């Protein structure tokens, strides 16, 4: 899932040095502490990755003691897991709700909208791509989440396409699982290209610059042309 520009400093005692509070972010004490910690964790994990962010960094940015942070989250791993879970929960609540399951073409259109939504939330895209090393390490704090995320994402599209076959809106020979896996792979790969090409001072060439949306829309439009059954009289 553009990043926030930085305006006013917040000192930090962790490895990251001085931290900055993004525009529109409420001052400490004006919101629920649990949510404040999560909000700062999203920003810091997104900017510096899991390994590059310490609990001390997050506590300083949230203007709370490290002991106070640990009162809400037992460990860095537990906090990271909560950040990841919230990311998925927000995506599904806003753009990929269960009500779309019976209409695969509406679901795919909504997926394109989700990709566009993610271009405005760079820190969430960065957090997601930062979990990729977890695929090689079952003990990584993000491994279980990433496995569930991939399984759920593929299953949602696959199941919706199968329902479309039963409803007569998807051709029976459409390879539902292959389509679902390919869509997720396309999205994940584009996020890497997008982050690389939009990073200040990047060495990325012009031919990898992407806004992500056009490529996903091209793929979805191709799926419709190949596998969609138009309603009678349309």
**Dihedral angle sign, alpha carbons of residues 9, 73, 146, 223:** negative
Cβ atoms of 111 and 96 closer than 8 Å: yes
Cβ atoms of 216 and 115 closer than 8 Å: yes
Q: What is the pLDDT along the chain (234 residues), one digit of tens a residue?
A: 333 333 232 333 333 443 444 434 545 454 588 899 999 998 888 888 788 889 999 999 999 999 999 999 988 888 988 888 887 777 666 655 666 778 999 999 999 999 998 898 888 888 888 888 888 999 887 888 899 989 999 999 999 999 999 999 999 999 999 999 999 999 999 999 999 999 999 999 999 999 999 999 999 999 999 999 987 765
pLDDT of residue 98: 65
Structure tokens at 185: 């792979």
Reply yes or no on domain 85-227 having CATH 1.10.357: yes
Cα separation of 210 and 219, whole Å?
15
Question: Per-residue b/e over 135-171, b at no fewer than 16 CB within 10 Å?
Answer: eeeeebbbbebbeebeeebbebbbbbbbbbbeeebbe
How far from 148 is each of 7, 49, 82, 115, 132, CA to CA, in Å? 37, 20, 14, 20, 13
pLDDT of residue 97: 63
Domain residues of the chain, as ranges?
Answer: 8-73, 85-227
pTM for the structure as a whole: 0.75
The class level of CATH for 8-73 reads mainly alpha
pLDDT of residue 194: 96
132: DSSP letter? G
pLDDT of residue 212: 97
Question: Per-residue b/e over 36-69, b at no fewer than 16 CB within 10 Å?
Answer: bbbbbbbbbbbbbebeebbbbbbbbbbbbebeeb
- Asked if 8-73 and 85-227 have one fold, the answer is no
């Amino acid at each position: 899932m553009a990043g926030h520009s930085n305006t006013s400093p917040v000192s930090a005692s962790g490895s990251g040095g001085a931290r900055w509070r993004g525009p529109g972010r409420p001052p400490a004490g004006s919101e629920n502490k649990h949510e404040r910690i999560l909000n700062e964790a999203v920003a810091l994990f997104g900017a510096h990755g899991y390994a590059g962010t310490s609990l001390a960094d997050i506590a300083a940015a949230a203007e709370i003691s490290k002991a106070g942070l640990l009162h809400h989250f037992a460990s860095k791993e537990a906090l990271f897991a909560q950040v990841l879970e919230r990311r998925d929960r927000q995506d599904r609540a806003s753009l990929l709700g269960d009500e779309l399951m019976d209409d695969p073409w509406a679901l795919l259109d909504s997926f394109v909208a989700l990709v566009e939504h993610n271009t405005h939330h760079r820190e969430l895209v960065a957090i997601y791509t930062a979990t990729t090393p977890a695929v090689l390490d079952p003990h990584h704090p993000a491994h279980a989440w990433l496995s569930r995320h991939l399984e759920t994402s593929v299953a949602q599209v696959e199941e919706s396409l199968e329902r479309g076959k039963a409803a007569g809106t998807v051709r029976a020979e459409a390879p539902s699982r292959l389509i679902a896996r390919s869509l997720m792979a396309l999205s994940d790969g584009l996020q890497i290209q997008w982050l690389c090409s939009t990073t200040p001072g990047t060495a990325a060439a012009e031919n990898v610059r992407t806004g992500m949306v056009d490529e996903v829309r091209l793929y979805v439009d191709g799926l419709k042309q190949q596998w969609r059954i138009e309603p009678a009289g349309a």
